[in-house]
Chain A
Amino acid sequence: MMPLLASALAVLQQPQSAPPYDPLGMFPPNASHNAGTSDWVFYFIFWTCLVVLIGVCVATLWFAFRYRRSKVGLIPQDSPHHSTTLEIVWSVVPTFFLVAMFWYGFKDYEDRREIPNDAYEIHVNAAKWSWTFTYPNGYQSQHLTVPADRNVRLRLSSPDVLHSVFIPAFRVKLDVVPGRYNWLWFRAIEPGVFPLYCTEYCGQQHSQMDARVTVMPDAEFDAWLAKESDWGALPPEVAGLKTYGANGCVACHTLDGSAATGPTFGGMFGTQKQLADGSTVTYDENYIRESILTPNVKLAAGFAPNLMPSNFAQALSDQKVDWLIALIKSKGAQ
């Protein structure tokens, strides 16, 4: 009993971050700082269970063979019908191992739930059936790129149904629940490209809702992000489209001429626009600029005041406003 107790207590000293351990090759690449811990716990349970299972099955086969009816006849030998000692042994001994498993799992889980304060936050929006990753500088992408050796946390949100982020190589997974934020974190340890899946069934294209996770060396990451977010190098209307997505215009304004919460951007440029006070105005660069920065002054007919945020004078640089104008122009009715 003492060695058992000792091994149960040794659990308390389980290392924070175990080296990669996958003797049977059952896991995907080991690409985050605590993937090794999770694998180690998995194999701890695996070997324990294997011993029990082999024991039970060998005993079953041996008894069945040794005491087969064709050999022992219809009347078996006398044998006990119960044994309190055995019952206690096989209730108590497994308990030690179960507590050990629970404890390992608990430690590992706690480690994953306690998000370091310095973590780099990326916002993940999961909508049927694609991912949008938004970086602190507003840059958005359909795929995830993270620096190696830096703590990264993902803030998860969904506008429609349940989804779940799963990056097998990092051994992380968390549901994306509409109406609330969930957070998960990891620290990637080796550069590479890994898959990201949606693991909560979300309808028709659930199986198509995947993304690439690229881990790049920490030193290269900031430069990469700056380059990717430098929209000045792009044609203005393309930069405008990115601004349109990144700054939330997309939520209320369509580009195809259909009505939504706000007036559409499609097919408007150059037309005469009906206003709420009954007058009309030419839909030109000045009108667009004014409507973005002071939305309530020349209110479009059919829309209530104060629906649109009035902080874009601060939130958008002149350059971004210009890009948006270029976008609306490119969708205009020439």
Chain B
Amino acid sequence: MIFPASNALQRTNYLNAQKGWWSWFWTIDHKRLGLMYLWGVFAMFAFGGFFAMMIRWNLATPDTNIWDPELIPAATALAKMDAYNRMFTVHGAVMIFLVIIPGIPAALGNFVLPIMLGAKDVAFPRLNRFSFHLWILGAICFILTFTVGGLDTGWTFYPTYSTGSAGKAVIFATLGTFILGFSSIFTGLNFVVTIHKLRPPGMIWFKMPLFLWAIYATAVLQILATPVIGISMLLLLVEYTMQIGIFTPELGGDPVFFQHLFWFYSHPAVYIMILPAMGVMSELIGTFSRKPIFGYKSIAMSSLAIAVISFIVWGHHMFLSGQSPLMSTIFSFLTFAVAIPSAIKVFNWVCTLYKGSISFATPMLYALSIIWLFGVGGLTGLFLSTMGVDIHLHDTYFVVAHFHFVMVGSAIFAFIGGIYYWMPKMYGRMASEKLGRITWALNFIGFNLTFLPQFVAGTKGMPRRYFDYDPEFAVYNWWSSIGAAFILVGMVLTLIAVIQAITRGRPAPANPWGGVTLEWMTESPPPEHNFEGDPPEVGDPYDVSLVEYKNELDGFVPAKPMASDPNMYDYRASLKAGVAHTNLHP
């Protein structure tokens, strides 16, 4: 069971078992699909990030804008506004539908989930490939919007603007969202069936790694919520092309009805984005504290609680749409209920650190910073769910800052942390710790600098989606744009760090971090069918005494031959019984 690290890369593994681009494009190997999702998401992140930088450039001061007369003399004021509106729309739509939603579940989840289960693949490998191809098709649809003048509806597609005034790009964008929706549904369906049917004997539900609990809860949301955005997009499409009238007042319809349908999906979608991040957090905090995660059952159950409650809170996006005060009141109350399971997770993570053995490896730096970032993002949600306060804050930069703290500060940071964590497994090579820490610092400082001032701009009353603004908001926007520059450098360096690791990183041991979940019980990178021979026996996923450090490998190996009685390896019992844990060197 000890794999000499230097050999794993030269042996036949999933990366070199088949050759040629076709072997990648037409693969049904979940690991290869996961990697392709990863690079697809990187590309889309760069695409959406480019527009984010353009937005911050434009807003740096009240009168600067990216279309400086010296650069583009002919641009009229109106053309600049049109361009700006397209930029924030594409930024939002791409980042949500093509980056964050597929980010952790489709990229990391695809790679890790079957290995964590000790399975050879997901339940429906060809459906998995189909999901990925749909994702590409959806991405192409979004890129095609530029060929017909660009999309300027905002990522929310609210009628009657999207059905009446907007250009032909609406057709591509709604089609793209529809297709991406089905990509997401099929991924979720695949994961649910895989977790139900391919769990190995011995892995009862409460022995499942918390990442899988989170992915499971996410998959349930993807299955139950995404069809509704699918049908809303179809309705929007027939409304736009054939004036079917369901959302148009002159034809007897109601634009607010679209908002209900839209947020019935898009609020759970927020949890489709954040739940997997919470799963990654639980893995990172557990592994890098070298301690069983505190309150395993609470964390697992809170994922499900969040998934359930998230379906009945969508109306909090519509306190000011004219919906009935009774509905607003109910939605407000239920929204506060989501705060409890979210808080439970954070408290449990903090308690896991207590009396642990805390490593400051790059993935853990991301995980620790998420406690602050998710804290801010989550707690500012309380202001917005308070009806009276939301009246002032709704659709201001306060909201913008709030959801960036959750979507970027938590979801994207967890994504990057997860990439660093699983990179040795994906490519069999270690990333540079030095570069990793520098980029983390740049990202963390830049992120706070960008979005903390936006809270104040929001409370001062700066509306979102504005091309320019009153001078009183100048100072917040200036610092915000400075922070964006930090993020730009940090993200570019992160990409460089990833590429450097893949090409020149030092070969990774099978288990560099001391994880106990099954993906660390196979080689780095894993063989084509994940495990040589039969998968290892399933133990407690957080019993760190099951692995021990080997200096000569700079990694961890299984401590003892697995016993059939898992109780024998209860961590505390083994300590009390005086079982020798010889190697104490970090």
Partners in one complex: yes
Name A's B-contacting residues (CB within 8 A).
Answer: 26-28, 37-38, 41-42, 45-46, 49, 52-53, 56-57, 59-60, 63-64, 67-70, 72-83, 86-87, 90-91, 94-95, 98-99, 101-102, 104-113, 128, 160-162, 164, 166, 168-169, 171-175, 177-180, 182, 195, 197-208
Taking CB as reference atom, which chain A residue is nearest B359?
Answer: A69
B293 neighbours in A (Cβ, 8 Å): 81
How many angstroms between the C-alpha atoms of A162 and B459 in the bound complex?
23
Pick the residue among B339, B395, B514 that contacts A200 (CB under 8 A).
Answer: B395
Pairwise interchain contact A27-B459, C-beta atoms closer than 8 A:
yes
Contacts of B357 in A (CB 8 A): 67, 69, 72-76
What are 14 inter-chain pairs, A to B, with CB distance below 8 A? A27-B460, A63-B353, A67-B354, A67-B357, A69-B360, A76-B355, A76-B356, A79-B291, A81-B294, A82-B294, A102-B333, A160-B164, A199-B395, A204-B85
A130 to chain B, nearest CB (A): 15
Cβ-based interface call for B325 (8 A): yes
Q: Given A64-B353, A79-B355, are A45 and B383 also a contact pair (CB < 8 Å)?
A: yes
Instruction: Kindly supply a per-residue 1/0 record for chain B positions 48-74, scoring 1 wherever the CB is within 8 Å of any chain A CB and 0 otherwise.
Output: 000000000000000000000000000
From A74, A90, A203, name the one whose CB has the most chain B CB atoms within 10 angstroms: A74
Minimum Cβ distance to chain A for residue B95 (Å): 17
Question: Which 6 residue pairs across A and B have the least CB separation, nearest first?
Answer: A179-B249, A108-B388, A168-B461, A105-B386, A63-B353, A109-B387
Residue from A42, A64, A169 whose CB has the most chain B CB atoms within 10 Å: A64
Cβ of A143 to closest chain B Cβ, rounded Å: 16
A207 to B576, CA, bound (A): 67
By beta carbon, the residue of chain A nearest B166 is: A203
Q: When the two chains form their complex, are residues A205 and B78 in contact, meaning their CB atoms are under 8 A apart?
A: yes
B527 within 8 A of A: no
How many angstroms from the CA of A56 to the CA of B461 in the assembled complex?
Answer: 30
Which residues from A are CB-within-8-Å of B474? none
Q: How many B residues, CB 8 Å from partner?
A: 99
Which residues of A are found within 8 Å of B388, using beta-carbon distances? 37-38, 41, 104-109, 111-112
Shortest CB–CB separation between residue A76 and chain B, in angstroms?
Answer: 4
B372 contacts A by Cβ under 8 Å:
yes
- Does A178 lie within 8 Å of B160, measured CB to CB? yes
Contact with A along B360-394 (1 / 0, CB 8 A): 10000000100110011001101101111111101
- Does A52 contact B379, Cβ atoms closer than 8 Å? yes
**Residue ID in chain B nearest A98 by CB atoms:** B336
Residues 288-317 of B at the A interface (beta carbon under 8 Å): 289-298
CB distance from A174 to the nearest CB of B (A): 5
Which residue of the partner chain B has the closest CB to A55? B350
Tell yes or no: B329 within 8 A of A by CB.
yes
Could you say which of B152, B295, B382, B468 contacts A98, with CB atoms under 8 Å apart?
Answer: B382
Closest to A79 in B: B355
How many Å lie between the Cα of A321 and that of B343 in the bound state?
Answer: 68
For the complex, give the distance between the alpha carbons of A48 and B464 in Å: 27
> Is B16's CB within 8 Å of the partner chain A?
no
A180 to B297, CA, bound (A): 49
For A101, list chain B residues within 8 Å (CB): 336, 382, 385-386
Residues in B150-187 with C-beta less than 8 Å from chain A: 152-154, 156, 158, 160-161, 164-166
**Residue numbers in B under 8 Å from A206 (CB-CB):** 85, 465-467
Known: A75-B290, A76-B356, A98-B382. A56 touches B390 (CB 8 A): no
B297 touches A82 (CB 8 A): yes
A164 contacts which chain B residues (CB < 8 A)? 320, 395
Contacts of A113 in B (CB 8 A): 325
CA distance A197 to B473 in the complex (A): 14
Q: Are B394 and A106 in contact (CB under 8 A)?
A: no
CA distance A103 to B101 in the complex (A): 34
Q: Closest residue of chain B to A195, judged by CB?
A: B470
Quick one: which of B250, B358, B467 contacts A68, CB cutoff 8 A?
Answer: B358
A83 contact from B78, B295, B584, Cβ within 8 A: B295
Given known A-B contacts A64-B353, A67-B358, A74-B549, A177 and B256 have beta carbons under 8 A apart: yes
Interface residue? B531 (CB, 8 A): no
B332 within 8 A of A: yes
Return the contact of B298 from the options A70, A82, A104, A161 (Cβ within 8 A).
A82
Is A173 touching B336 in the complex (CB atoms < 8 A)?
no
Whether A207 contacts B468 in the complex (CB less than 8 A), given A82-B295, A98-B340, A106-B387, comes out as: yes
Choice from B81, B289, B360, B456 contacting A76 with Cβ under 8 Å: B289
Nearest neighbor of B375 in chain A, beta-carbon distance: A53
A207 near B81: Cβ-Cβ < 8 Å: yes
Q: How far is the CB of A266 from chain B (nearest CB, A)?
A: 26
State the CA gap A200–B464 with chains docked (Å). Answer: 9
- Whole-angstrom distance between the alpha carbons of A41 and B383 in the complex? 9
Chain B residues near A52 (CB, 8 Å)?
A: 375, 379
- B575 interface residue, CB < 8 Å from A? yes
**B325-A63 in contact (CB<8A):** no
For residue B388, which residue of chain A has the nearest CB? A108
Does A26 contact B332, Cβ atoms closer than 8 Å? Answer: no
Q: For residue B388, give the distance in angstroms from its CB to the closest CB of chain A.
A: 3
Contacting pair A67 B353 (CB below 8 A): yes
Closest chain B CB from A95 CB (angstroms) = 7
Q: Quick check: B160 and A160 within 8 Å, CB to CB?
A: yes
Q: Does B328 contact A (CB under 8 A)?
A: yes
Cα–Cα, bound, A57→B368 (Å): 9
* Residues of chain B lying within 8 A (CB to CB) of residue A182: 322
Are A63 and B395 touching (Cβ within 8 A)? no
B583 at the interface (CB under 8 A from A): yes
**Within 8 Å CB of B322, what residues of A?**
174-175, 177, 180, 182
Chain B residues with CB below 8 A from A180, complex form: 249, 254, 322
Residue in B closest to A178 when the chains form the complex, CB atoms: B249
Are the CB atoms of A166 and B463 closer together than 8 Å? Answer: yes
Knowing A45-B389, A90-B344, A102-B333 are in contact, say whether A60-B81 is a contact too (CB < 8 A): no
Within B396-455, the residues touching A (CB, 8 Å) are 396
